[in-house]
Amino acid sequence: MANCQLYLISPLEVGGDFPQRLARALDAGPVAAFQFRVKGLDQHEAARLAEPLQAICREREVAFIVNDDVALAKRLQADGVHLGQGDGDPREAREELGREAQIGVTCHASRHLAMEAGEAGADYVAFGAFFPSATKDSGHRAEPELLEFWQGLFEIPCVAIGGITPENCAPLIEAGADFLAVSGAVWNGDEVAAVKAFGEKLAQ
């Protein structure tokens, strides 16, 4: 089975010295993807903030995924878009962004939503939250068994999200998560140390 990989999600504040922090994090260990997640900005401002981050990802061959906003993903020619349950249909996103785009869908703790997303052409499904998260209170709690169920039946990769740290991620890796989506565990402290700590767990 392919090894589990790290999927970084941005903090909401991506100005200031964040580009340097992102570069340090990506250089600290293998990261498969970076999700640009900002709220309440107009598209022009979001694009301005995204551009240096996208360049950093491109230099390191890390997929650059835009959260929630198909139009912004298209404007930036991002590698893909991540859709919440209220953010539109993967089929429409595919039409906008093309065949090559990576389209992910938040499925909370629902097998049914994940199957629907798969049928609609999603490239990956995200389950969570597995642990309490300070970044985003989802109100949904998923169990590692959900990852095992998914891996046993479906080819589409699954992402585990929600309060994941180097200390608690082992059961999710064992259960078959293809990716660990992390935000606070990296950005709320020393991003280099955090990525290295995750890297050690993922390499076991």
The count of structural domains within the chain is 1
Is residue 195 within 8 Å of residue 31, measured between CB atoms?
yes
| Residue span of the structural domain in which 119 resides | 5-203
Handedness of CA 191, 126, 35, 179 (dihedral sign): positive
Give the β-pairing of 124-128 and 158-161. parallel
Is residue 35 within 8 Å of residue 63, measured between CB atoms?
no
Q: Give the span between the Cα atoms of 110 and 139, in whole angstroms.
A: 13
Q: Give the span between the Cα atoms of 151 and 176, in whole angstroms.
A: 6
Average pLDDT value for the chain: 96
Amino acid, single-letter form, for residue 176: G
- CA distances for 91 relative to 47, 77, 78, 117, angstroms: 24, 18, 17, 9
The average pLDDT across 1-19 equals 92
Alpha helices by DSSP H, the chain: 18-27, 43-59, 70-76, 90-97, 111-119, 144-153, 170-175, 184-187, 191-203
Amino acid, single-letter form, for residue 35: Q
- On the 0-12 / 13-18 / 19+ scale of CB atoms within 10 A, 24 is middle
The average pLDDT across 196-202 equals 97
Tokens describing residue 101: 């785009």
Residue 139 maps to which CATH number? 3.20.20.70
Percentage of the residues of the chain whose pLDDT score is greater than 90: 93
pLDDT of 57 > 90? The answer is yes
pLDDT at residue 1, as a whole number: 43
Backbone angles phi and psi of 31, in degrees to 5: -125, 130
Instruction: Supply angle C-alpha 33, 34, 37, rounded to 5.
Output: 145
The average pLDDT across 173-189 equals 97
Q: Which residue has the higher pLDDT, 105 or 204?
A: 105
If pLDDT is split at 50, 70 and 90, which confidence band does 204 have?
A: confident
If pLDDT is split at 50, 70 and 90, which confidence band does 19 have?
A: very high
